[in-house]
Every structure is written in C-alpha cells, then in structure tokens.
Chain A
C-alpha cells in the first residue's frame, strides 16, 4: 500500500525523518519496501502570470502567450486550448528546466516564433494525470509569479510503499499507520484534522441494535452552513443476513454539485496511485485511504423504494457492476439492494445503475462491516479484487462505522457544496462480541527468553488501544481494540509486547538441542550418496520441473496414467511426471542443439503414479542420460554407447555399495532399445535398467544419435543397502595367484558374460577372477564369430598352487568352452 509521509505527519506528528519512521515501522511489521520523494525535482518550474495571449501567426492550433515569471516577461508558444485570460496564472518551465520525464526545456523556434520555455500540464510535471490541458492556478490561490511550483502547490512529500501482511487490516489506511507510529514513538495518537479545508463531523454513536440512528455533529472548525439542514428521508435498512453484514450505516449529503476536486486532493490521490475522477468519488477514495474503511456512495435518485436491503443473492441473479460487466451471482454472494433490485455487490463493487454521476445531487453514503470470509469468497468467485474487497476480507473496524460515516459526509459536503443530514442510520444486526485475553508476563518472558514486566506489558497494551479489564503482576486481562481482529489469544499479545519493544531487544541464545538417536533417514543418505557418486563418476546434476505435458509422456512412451493438475499454468505443465525420461532427455536435446559435444546428466527426483489412496505413489528414481561423445585424450572421441552406461552405473554403485552391478538380459521399458538394453541387478536383485533409447523414441524426443539412458530405483537400492550393511573386512591373500589366459574363437550368440561365468564355475572355486582382455572380429575370424580372450586368475586361499594343479584346472576350462560354447581354443 502506498502511504503519504506528509499525511501520516498530519495525523500523528513525530520528530523523526522519513527514513527513521520507515525503519521503525518496518521492524514492527509494516515493511517499507521503497520510499519515493515527491516535489523535489521541479527546479526552474515556477508560477507565471499570463500577460498577453494572441493567436500564433502561422499555426492555427497554437497560442502565443506572454508570461511574467516573476523576473522577466517571456513569449511562449502553447498548444493547449485552455490558456487563461491575462491575469490568470499557469505553471511555467523556464528554459534550462528538466521535467520529471527527462525532457529538457530550451528556448526554440516553434512555427518561426521564438518560444522561451514551456507552460506545463499536470501530467508533464508528474503531479497529476491530466494531460488534456495546461494546469491553471485556482483564481483564489495565493502564490505570486516566480514562486517555485513545489512551494506554490505544496508538493513536497515522501510516498512509502508498505508491504502489509494480511493480519493487519487496521493498517490499510493512514489513520491505522499513524496510530502504529504513535505506539512506536510513544506519542499518543489523536484523530485530528488532516489536509485540506476539511469540515469534520463526529458521530454521536449509539451502539445499540434497538437504536438504529445516530446524530452527526459538526466537529472542530466546522460551521453549520445551513439554518435548515436536510433531514434523512425515510429510508429503511433491512439486513436479512446479520452474520454476513453485522453492521450497516448510511448518511446523506444533499445538494452536492459534482465537479473536479481541488488540487490538493487530486495530488494526494495521484501520489497514492488512484486516479482523480470527481469530488464525490475522490472523497470516498480519500476516506478509504484515510480510515482504511471502504465506503460507497449511491445516487439517492436511483435507489428505488426508499429501501436498502442487505441480502444473499438468488441463484443466477444478475447485475452490472461499475466496470460495466454484467455479473451472475450465487446464493453465497451478499448483495446490497434497493426496494427492487441489487445495487451493489456488498464490499466488492457498486452497481452501474446507482453510481455517482455528473447530475447526482443527493449522495447516500454506505459504511458497513461485512463478514470477511463472505466478501473473500465472493471476490474470488467473481475474480474481482478491489481496494474495497481487499480491506473487507481482511476485516475492517466495525466500531469505526459511525466515525467514518461522519467523516465521509463532512468531506463530501465540503467538496461538493452540499449539506449533511444530521441524522444517520447505524444498523447493528449482530453486535460485535468483545473478547478478553489473558496475558501472563511470566509466559511472555518464557517464550521470548528475556524478562518481561507487568508494567511494561500494561503500558504497551494500553498504547495499542487495549482496554485493561484486570491487572496484576501475574496476569493482565485485556480487551483488544476493535480494529485489531488479529489479537485472539495470549501469544498474540506476547507478539505485541515483543514487536513494540522491538525484536532487537531480545537477546540471542544457543538452544539445547536433543539430536535424535536415529539420525538422518537412510533413504535421504542413500540419495545423497548416489548423488555424490554420480558427480564423482563425471555426471552433471539436472533439476527438472515435477510437471510435464501429456504429450511429453506420450512421446517418451512412458505411462500417461498420470496425476493431473486441476489448474495447470499451461498444457505444457499439466501432469505430474511418471518418469524422469522426458525432463532429462529434454535437457540432453537442448545441449545437443547448443552444439555441446557431450551431455552427461543425471537427476534424482520423484515420479508420481496414481494409487488407490488419496495421495499418489511418489517414487524416487536416479536417471542418467549420456548424449554425444566420450572424449579421449587428444583428438579421440567415440559416441557414447551402452557400455558407457554400464560403466557409469558400475562406478556409482561400486562407490555407494562397494559392489559392481550385473547387467543381464531382461524386460526393459518400451522406450528402450530392444536389442541394446538390459536389466541392472545388484546382488541378483533387479534395481534398474540401462541401454540405448529406442531409436523411434529418440527421434520423437528430438535427440541426435544414440543416447544412453539408465534408471535406478532408489528405494530398491536403499532396501538392499540396509540388508548388505556396512562393508566387512576380508583377510588379504596369503598365497600367490597364478594367471593363465585362454583365447577362443566362438560364435557371436554366446555372450562374453555367459562364457566368463561358465569358466569361473568350471574352476571349482580356484578362479578368483575371469576377465575379458581381448575381443576381435574380422580378419581371419569367420563371419558370425569372434575371438575372445580371457585372463583367469587362480588362487588357492589355503596353499600355493602348483603348475600341475593349474594346468589341470585350466584344461577343464578349455573343455567347458569347447563343449558348451562350441569354441575353438586358439
């Protein structure tokens, strides 16, 4: 909310500059997000008197004006049509002036005539929004030619942008913030006359349901203009739903003349982000900004049936609101109606038919208290968030109704030249229930960690406007003020004590923490370990959005039975991912488009699958994508293939579990290459898959070349980790190993892994390892065959092997190769 420092100072003067005020209220919870100075950037713009006014010799639409700027008479060419007659005063930018929009004023020729300066409009000086014509000083205003505009129009101010939290509706007006400043600076806030020639009224409030009228009495310097003030016509106010509208007040100002507002009011609204419209509308806006209490003006002539009825809408009932939109209501929407039809959406926006217009004479002012939840629901349903709904849904001060009504009536009468009917309506359908709250200073001290005395608590609560019902050292019973709906229980009062005193006054301490005996959950540890291992293995971590499009899932051939959002931002992000494939390969495809030679990515994140329960099944998966080329040392580069995927998985799993995975034939997802992918097992348990992406899928995903993809099921890995437990040390071998090689020519369909496994088995436990060290095709090797060479490391843990023993075993391995794999031993 934009706030005028000047206005705050009028309401509650404190001896502090704007920066200090901003700092103090920020620390107390009214966060000042920016401060903008006003009226300081208009050097060389002065009041000037028109001395002569002649048509431009060459251009029809221009006027040649001679002005006196307090020092010299100058000729200026002006394009506006509202140049006043000689004697009138205007705002004149001397040559050399720089306007707020950056325009530099210089003497120049316009249509062959020398023009020395510029006569300005409000908009050009950024002091208003009127760009139609030049600004003309009011005839009865005082400033003489030569007076700087900032002084002549009293422009100086600071505008604070205050970010208000939703618990402080009381600060949605200047009065509330001034009251807060009073509390923080220890100055008693008293409502006082604010800017402008304000008549003020006060309400002789009678807060009884049985007495629906109040007297509005002139206050301060107001004088009764009329010997015979108007009387409130017989208007009945009926509240059908007292829970939705606990209080409704109405006052009448008769005989107003709708016209533009005086400059001070327009300037204030302009600075606070509202557009000046007409005196009556501007007055309601000023009251809104002052009291934070929205009011609404009806043209009495357009209220039918001398009646105001506050009721819930009928289903499908319609009305056009001020913005010209016809709206349809539900039975949960509260309407203000006249004797025949709706005239306003309660607390949200007025109706088009009864709005204040130029010919309006009699203004019926509404000031009410509506149930915040009701207003919020209607505002949300209509998608209509207004200055009014913003305040009502947070909760205005129900007790302020008479005073706001009186204030509004006085201002409208002053600006519009009307008269206030001294009787007004104040209908209370559902009286506010006062609540009392107990505050134990000892509890406050315990919660804050610093001593809190009863005296100080009492002082602070009183300054906030609490009524003290009981007071003692052990406890204080207080009734919070009607404008603080947020004060509900003891802890709220404790916050008030801490806040007013300042959080800075609370010392810092180190808590006694009881760490749990279980520590970080195993799954979290497993995820972290996998992440670190993946990075160590050379992969870059990606983080993708959890939502994707159905099309993404379809293209990736993964499950489209997905958790769907009711209100996605776009179709691109409409369903929760069922696989990490679309996100990760999307990143890989982007890297390829950028011309990256390699993208080696991984992601550990959740996928979501609908389950029978309320919440879907969230599964944590590690996915890996390798696209592009594995870099050799210098120059050499080979495209990634399935063995890179296998290798990186081995590196990761070996790092985390101390075990190398097996990759075995098995069922893989449809998006994987049917002949170039396989299942990954660890300790014979399936934990994922690895391979190349199916070429058709890769095309659909706009991937270039063969892209390797792997997934590991993190929950399965974690379960396994739990079973395996920590590594257990083994004794080092006491006896030497003997290595022998066996090379064979074998048909392609026998896999190397299968042969190595068979050789190991055949060794009767003597082979410590069987590893492939050479693979050769072509040349002398017949078609459909390949040459494989294995190195077998033999070791007997209990004795030194003799050559004879080894020869014997090695021969049995050769036999197995020949018999089972039709191998030719070479």
Chain B
C-alpha cells in the first residue's frame, strides 16, 4: 500500500525543507533574492506548498498530527524568513550609515521663488511700519485733474512752486485750468481725494507711481512716492516728529539721529524736510574719519530723506474741513530713493530696466 510511503515522503519532505530552508536563505544578498528563495519553499509552486498538496493522500489518523507538524514548519520558516529579512534590512542600513556619503553637492531640486521688485519690497517695508501704527492704505488714479494735483493742494497759480513739478499733460490739456488732465506729479493728490470722500479722523498712507518731465542721471520720468497724512483734532507738529522719527529708526536703524529743517511745500505750514544720519558712513557710530570721507553725505553725516509739515489750512478749506477744528500732518518720500539707500542701488535707471540679473538680487 502506498500509505506508509506517503507518510514517509511527507515526513521526509518536512525534514528536508526544515534542513535546507535556513541554509538557502543564508545565501541571499538582498531582499529580492531573499524573497525569491523564500518563494521556492512557500510560493505557489514552492516545495512546502507542493508537499501540503499531498495532505489528502495521508492516512486520516495521521493527518492531524502531520498537519500540525507542517504548520509548525511553516511558522518556523516564517520566523526564519523574518529574521533573515530583518538582518538584510539591518545590514543595508548599517552599510548606508557607515558606507560612503551621498554626493550632497548635487543641486537642490524645487521650484525656487522669484523676487519682488526692490520698489515693491521697500514699499512693503514702509507700509508695514505705518500699518502697525494704525494707518490705512489708499489709492488714486495716475491720470489726474490739475485741480487735484495743484489747486486744491494750495499751489498758487503762476507760482514757481510748480517748477519742481515739470508736468506731463494729456493731449489737449496744457494749461493751469482746474479741469486740465495730467499725469500726477505727486501722490499728494490722494490726500485731496480721500479728504473729499471721508471725514476725520483719517490716518492714511498712499504709495504710487508719479510722473515728472525729468530724465537724467539722477531722475526718472516715472518714479514712486509714498504719501502719508493724519487728520484729527489736535494733531501736532510734535506728533509729526514722533511718527517720522519712529518710522526712520524702524526702517533703517534704531540708533540713527533724525533732524527736522524748515522747508516749503505749498500744502503744508509749517513745512519741513527731514534729515537722518547718513546710513553709508553710519554717522551715528561717531567715526569722524569715516564720515569725513563719506561721499554720500559729503562729510556732513546727514542725508535728506523726507518732506513733511502740518497740513495747510487752505487745503482743509479746499476740501471743506474746518481748519479751526482739525489739524493734521502730511509727509512724503521717494520710494526709489529709499530703496536706493537701503539696498545700495547706485543708479535709478536700474530700477526700470527690469534686467533679471538685477531683479534677482532682491
């Protein structure tokens, strides 16, 4: 009868597999090879799988016992496999951790961000300071009426105060007529527009492009200004000084000195200009030799940075505010100039050439 043979074959098979499996695995170099070898025993065509297919031929009384033995071998094999796999993983990790390093000098791989234009960058820096002080942003058109750019701001007709505002007029408009259309020469126009639209208290900053007919080494026919103003009851010159001093220290250096000089702009009275310590020779550090040799401040230790003043009562009258009730201050700055100072840009023309080699520096 075949019965004892079947039992014998089965038992021999189990023993053979038990003996061979561990040795076979030891020859595996890596995980795929390990799995390949493993498959030879427990895969669909594997030795053990084939053996188990003999189960039905085993005598019924031995089947249970032999089945258990086969299961035990299966578990043994699984444990051996797990251990071998673990050893291979461990070995690979050890090899990675102790072996040669990756060439980390190869380039990084990601979409790099672009850059903001330096004027936008400085605009954002400036705005951030004023927003933190409670100012709002306002905007206005670049093509404007003469009256908003000059008349309402208190520029007297036929007055040399307009000399600094060599104006581009739109075709068909070249006079001082209030309805004349021009490119705004200053962002102060927004002062007028906002005051006509709203009632005090107002605290507003307005950056934007302005245009003047100057085009030489130090002037660009389009450039950027930022205008700010505060209107309320009892706004004082002392507060103007406080706000601008704070602003400049935050923007440049907390140690700089700031001084106010009398000056003239038709829409403010008293009017002033603001100087700060030269940021090129770092005048506040008191190195006299360095300051004396500074070509930017010409040895004075000061550089002009802002225009400012108390809003002229005539401006309030022009927008229908009562100048006895309200006072206010206004200031203006050239964002181009501030960007040039802060970022060491040597030539204003660079700002409008949009050379990628330049833009990528900010």
Contact = CB atoms under 8 A, between A and B. Distances in A.
Interface in A157-186: 165-168
Interface stretch (B5-13, B29-37, B158-166): B158-166
Interface string A461-501: 00000000000000000000000001001011011001100
Interface stretch (B79-87, B91-99, B116-124): B116-124
B113 A538 contact: yes
A377 B158 contact: yes
B273 A31 contact: yes
Contact of B157 (A373, A499, A524): A373
B18 interface: no
A372 interface: yes
B234 A542 contact: no
B238 A509 contact: yes
A543 interface: yes
A512 interface: yes
Given A166-B161, A515-B135, A544 B352 contact: yes
Interface stretch (B20-28, B64-72, B258-266, B285-293): B258-266
A665 interface: no
A569 B352 contact: no
A598 B257 CA distance: 44
Contact of A600 (B114, B170, B179): B114
Given A511-B242, A511-B243, A521-B139, A569 B133 contact: no
A601 B359 CA distance: 10
Interface in A368-418: 372-373, 376-377, 390, 393-394
Contacts of A538: 111-114
Q: Is the interface of B mostly helix, strand, loop or mixed?
A: mixed
Given A491-B312, A521-B138, A567-B169, A499 B262 contact: yes
B338 interface: no
Interface in A498-512: 498-499, 503-504, 506-512
A521 B173 CA distance: 31
B109 interface: yes
Contacts of B47: none
Nearest to B224: A543
Contacts of B241: 503, 506-509
Contact of A447 (B106, B298, B310): B310
Interface residues of B, number: 89
A510 B242 contact: yes
A432 to B, nearest CB: 18
A569 B215 contact: yes
Contacts of A34: 298
A166 B352 contact: no
A540 B356 contact: yes
Given A503-B262, A599-B356, A564 B221 contact: no
B123 to A, nearest CB: 10
Interface string B231-266: 010111111011101100000000000011111100
A519 B114 CA distance: 28
A288 interface: no
Which of A450, A503, A538 has the largest number of chain B CB atoms within 10 A? A503
B56 interface: no
Interface stretch (B38-46, B142-150, B276-284, B340-348): B142-150
Contacts, number: 260
A349 to B, nearest CB: 18
A498 B261 contact: no
A615 B145 contact: yes
B126 to A, nearest CB: 13
B262 A545 contact: no
Contacts of A315: none
A507 B240 CA distance: 10
A29 interface: yes
A537 interface: yes
Interface string B46-72: 000000000000000000000000000
Contacts of A447: 236-237, 270, 310, 327
A166 B354 contact: no
Contacts of A811: none
Contacts of A26: 261
Nearest to B302: A26
A498 B308 CA distance: 14
A393 B230 CA distance: 33
B271 A495 contact: yes
A534 B136 CA distance: 24
A506 B237 contact: yes
Interface string B300-319: 00000000001011000000
Contact of A591 (B173, B260, B355): B355
B136 A508 contact: no
Contacts of B351: 543
A545 B235 CA distance: 37
A614 B116 contact: no
Contacts of A518: 136
Q: Which 5 residue pairs across A and B have the least CB separation, nearest first?
A: A449-B236, A449-B238, A29-B262, A495-B270, A165-B264
Given A498-B262, A503-B241, 4 more contacts: A503-B261, A528-B124, A538-B111, A540-B360
19 contacts: A29-B261, A29-B264, A167-B161, A390-B160, A446-B236, A448-B238, A503-B237, A503-B262, A508-B238, A514-B203, A534-B114, A540-B115, A544-B354, A546-B183, A565-B171, A566-B169, A566-B173, A606-B142, A634-B107
